């Protein structure tokens, strides 16, 4: 079995895997969140987001983004990849109980328009929380490439979607307390984005070393 991450130049599309209403709902999530991340350098520049420099990476606190909406989008990415029949995701599968938790949480906020969705999130609170990490880079060697990778990892589960990488953990205790926890989303009010250098992103995400990153991201067991 080939366990290496698979890469394609455009996001994988599947027809009929979800009902039309669910497709509309996930599209609403994507539209609401896309601007929060694609323009993070500009938002840092005007003081809307706060950037903190660290020894090996920077961290952006996306303080004006809605952490619940961002979290739902991240959950939707992992859930869709796990239920997908696309060949890209043959080796990607979330544990059944976690997959069902994600599905149930997503369905609590299901809406087919921005207006309806805004009404729901104003009156409905989250029923669960799984910590996660988000990673991007300051710049990219190929600005036009869209990359999608689904490595065969488990706790954390990992995805690379275009210029962003995501790691989903089953608990905060699984996260490395020094290398990952301080820069990740470990509570429901967090919306943090790690920023790698161009070279570090290329070495880990493009060259396929994200599996090693996933191992390093977990709490060491004695």
Q: For residue range 23-49, what is the model confidence (pLDDT) as tens digits?
A: 889 999 999 998 888 899 999 999 999
What is the C-alpha to C-alpha distance for residues 43 and 64, in angstroms, rounded to an integer? Answer: 9
* pLDDT tens sequence across 108-122: 999 989 999 999 999
pTM, two decimal places: 0.86
Cα–Cα distance measured from residue 103 to residue 70, given in angstroms and rounded to the nearest whole number:
16
Which residues lie below 8 Å from residue 78, measured CB to CB, with a gap of 6+?
94, 102, 157, 159, 166, 168
Each residue's pLDDT tens digit, 162-191: 889 999 999 999 999 998 999 999 999 999
């Amino acid at each position: 079995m080939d366990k290496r991450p698979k890469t394609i130049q455009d996001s994988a599309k599947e027809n009929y895997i979800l009902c039309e209403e669910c497709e509309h709902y996930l599209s609403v999530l994507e539209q609401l969140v896309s601007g929060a991340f694609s323009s993070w350098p500009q938002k840092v520049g005007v003081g809307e987001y706060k950037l903190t420099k660290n020894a090996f990476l920077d961290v952006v606190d996306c303080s004006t983004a809605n952490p619940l909406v961002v979290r739902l989008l991240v959950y939707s990415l992992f859930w869709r990849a796990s239920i997908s029949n696309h060949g890209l995701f043959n080796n990607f599968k979330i544990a059944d109980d976690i997959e069902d938790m994600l599905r149930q949480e997503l369905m609590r906020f299901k809406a087919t328009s921005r207006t309806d969705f805004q009404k729901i999130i104003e009156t409905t609170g989250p029923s669960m929380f799984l910590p996660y990490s988000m990673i991007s880079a300051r710049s990219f060697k190929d600005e036009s490439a869209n990359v999608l990778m689904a490595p065969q990892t488990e706790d954390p589960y990992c995805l690379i979607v275009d210029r962003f990488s995501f790691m989903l953990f089953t608990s905060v205790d699984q996260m490395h307390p020094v290398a990952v926890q301080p820069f990740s989303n470990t509570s429901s009010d967090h919306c943090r984005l790690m920023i790698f250098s161009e070279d570090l992103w290329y070495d880990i995400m493009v060259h396929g070393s994200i599996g090693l990153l996933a191992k390093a991201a977990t709490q060491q067991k004695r």
